[in-house]
Amino acid sequence: MKIFLFTICFFLVFCSTHCFSGEKVNYNAYFDMATGHKYVKLDSTTYAEFSKKGEFLKNVPSNLLLLINSSNIYPIPDKSYILYERAAVGTSDHKLIPNEMDHPKGWKAKKIFVSLN
């Protein structure tokens, strides 16, 4: 039984380090639909993570499993838009801004719109 458990643990560790170690993301930006976080490429090995309010959180490696495997993270092509929302008591305002523009202060990222062409 111990050998069986050891074999399974070894396989899982090997697979998690070997199978994804060479994979990297390739787009200039990614959007996490679950959290509203945006990942912007800094160089070939690093992405900057921003909160849905546009605040810098941290730098992450381009081979981060979250970026490679998550079903909630989508690439942001060059010709795309992000819908921002600013909510106040009883009202909410929306802005649709091209991806290349900076995050507006006081607004939260809600959705991404991608061109089909």
Tens-place pLDDT, residues 11-48: 444 344 334 445 667 888 899 988 889 999 999 899 99
Judge whether 29 and 38 are in contact, CB under 8 Å: yes
pLDDT digits (tens, 9 = 90+) for 44-66: 899 999 998 889 999 999 888 88
Question: Would you give the distance in Å from CA 31 to the centre of its chain?
Answer: 4
Find the largest Cα–Cα distance for the chain: 61
Q: Are 84 and 104 in contact (CB under 8 A)?
A: yes
97: in domain: yes
Q: Is 63 inside any structural domain?
A: yes
Residue 67 lies in a domain: yes
Q: Residue 87's domain spans which residues?
A: 23-114
Q: Indicate whether 28 belongs to any domain.
A: yes
Q: Quote the tokens at residue 10.
A: 């070894």
Please tell me the distance from the alpha carbon of residue 75 to that of residue 77, in angstroms, as a whole number: 6
Domains: count for the chain? 1
State residue 14's pLDDT score: 39
Asked if residue 17 is part of any domain, the answer here is no
**Mean pLDDT, residues 86-106:** 89
88 part of a folded domain: yes
